[in-house]
Amino acid sequence: MTSSSGRRQMKLGAFFHPTGHHVASWLHPEAQIDAGTNVEHYIELAQTAERAKFDLMFLADALATRDGNLEALSRWPQYMAYFEPITLLSAIASVTRHIGLVSTATTSYNEPYNVARKYASLDHISHGRAGWNVVTSANITEAYNFGREEHFEHGERYDRAVEFTEVVFGLWDSWDDDAFIRDRASARYFDPKKLHYLRHKGEHFSVRGPLNVARPPQGKTGDLPGRLVGSRNGARRAHR
């Protein structure tokens, strides 16, 4: 991209797998062998990337272990046991200051209200550094964990994802930026005129709202140059 000074700049994102990108990376004697459940390891990675001026760190996610031959999988632990990313990024947010904190959340086996609340909370905790990678689930084993024997049909998954994202964006606009007066003298905490009910009724979701988290620091969804949003082809952009 080109900066305001006219100089071209490269945007850098660090993609951290729990046990490394290579199938055998965990076998290296200097590898963090318990990386998937070692918060200090992730904090060190995030702080190193931040010092190196990376724009963001990214955590992929799934809602199931991988299926297959357990003997083979026991030798390839990638994405078998690892942190839930929003929880992990909230911990990392407290020990970093600039790096964007981005993770995957599927629209197939979540509810819009939960996703809106979690990412709004992370955005507040990180002072505006949260990013959401919008995906639909491809791993069939995720369906088995949510009372289904198969995924939503392909077209339905993406139609559902579009509506899901619209609901999340709408929920993030539940409160105006100046809704919270917090005035002890008048005993008024917020201005009721600046709280908005979404009252969404669509093909896949019915969500009244409002969200019980203040508007995210990154602001209104229509003019967010930074928030990571998704498309059928994957993520488009991320916060710096």
Letter for the amino acid at 224? L
Instruction: Give me the sign of the Cα torsion angle 85, 89, 90, 92.
Output: positive
Q: H or E segment at 120?
A: helix 112-125
Sequence-ordered list of residues with C-beta below 8 angstroms from that of 218, at least 6 positions apart, any chain: 123, 128, 130, 224, 226, 227, 239
* Per-residue pLDDT band at 3 (split at 50, 70, 90): low
pLDDT value, residue 238: 34
Nearest to 123 by CA among 142, 139, 103: 103
Q: H or E segment at 100?
A: strand 100-106
Q: H or E segment at 53?
A: none
- Token output for 164: 């899901």
Percent residues over pLDDT 70 in the chain: 90
* Per-residue pLDDT band at 1 (split at 50, 70, 90): low
Locus of tokens 């949003």: 229
- In the Cβ-directed half-sphere of 21, how many Cα atoms lie within 13 Å? 4
Per-residue model confidence as pLDDT tens digits over 93-131: 999 999 999 999 999 999 999 999 999 999 999 999 999
> pTM higher than 0.75, yes or no?
yes
Q: Please, are residues 177 and 196 in contact by the beta-carbon 8 Å criterion?
A: no
Letter for the amino acid at 69? N
